[in-house]
């Protein structure tokens, strides 16, 4: 792992404020979160987030690939999506609900009701409020978009089951059973809660790979 001043600052923060999680971060590969620089890609990435909800990675990847293949350059735009009725989207593996959600997103962006290029200038809660205006995008989906598309470094998703499982593995079930206890633990990670989340997911994912 190539160390940078930014990564050093993240490690130093956890070393001071949460030595237990620092030990996890120190033993895993860690890279800085990347911001998607092309705002016209936001729409396509939100479609992917909607399609992937509540699906395993393999099934989600297959449907997303078929979705992108509907478009000449593999890049979805609101105008192109609206050319495909719900039935065509259902035919590539989407549920009827997700087909409606993707078209609702396309309709709102095309009509200017949602202005995706404005998201980087918003703070986290403003961006989440804007994204959750769209049918099918709840707080969790918005938080994942902030973290992995906007590169926001201080996101912790209280609704993420994997995070709760990982926290229990690291700190113990008794210490993570109540929301206020989780808030106390993760509050110490600020302003790097996204990196703390990556460490917790790392532990949860490792546990899945181990034979029971």
Angle formed at CA 156 by CA 152 and CA 158, multiple of 5 degrees: 145
Active-site positions? 160
Q: Which of 77, 27, 23 is nearest to 47 (CA)?
A: 77
Q: Which two tokens stand for residue 105?
A: 């997103």
Q: End-to-end distance of the chain based on CA atoms, in angstroms?
A: 30
Let me know: does 154 contact 41? Beta carbons within 8 Å: no
For residues 128 and 181, give the distance between their C-alpha atoms in angstroms, rounded to a whole number: 24
């Amino acid at each position: 792992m190539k160390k940078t001043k930014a990564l050093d600052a993240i490690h130093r923060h956890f070393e001071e404020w949460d030595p237990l999680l620092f030990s996890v971060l120190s033993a895993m590969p860690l890279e800085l979160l990347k911001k998607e620089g092309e705002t016209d890609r936001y729409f396509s990435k939100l479609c992917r987030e909607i399609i992937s909800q509540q699906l395993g990675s393999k099934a989600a990847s297959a449907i997303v690939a078929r979705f992108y293949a509907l478009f000449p350059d593999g890049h979805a735009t609101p105008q192109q999506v609206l050319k495909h009725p719900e039935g065509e989207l259902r035919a590539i593996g989407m549920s009827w609900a997700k087909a409606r959600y993707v078209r609702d997103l396309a309709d709102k962006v095309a009509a200017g009701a949602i202005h995706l290029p404005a998201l980087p200038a918003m703070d986290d809660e403003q961006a989440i409020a804007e994204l959750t205006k769209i049918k099918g995008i709840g707080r969790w989906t918005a938080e994942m978009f902030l973290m992995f598309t906007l590169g926001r470094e201080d996101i912790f998703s209280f609704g993420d089951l994997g995070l709760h499982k990982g926290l229990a593995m690291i700190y113990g079930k008794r210490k993570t059973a109540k929301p206020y206890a989780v808030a106390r633990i993760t509050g110490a990670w600020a302003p790097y809660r996204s990196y703390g989340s990556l460490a917790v997911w790392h532990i949860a994912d490792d546990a899945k790979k181990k034979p029971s």
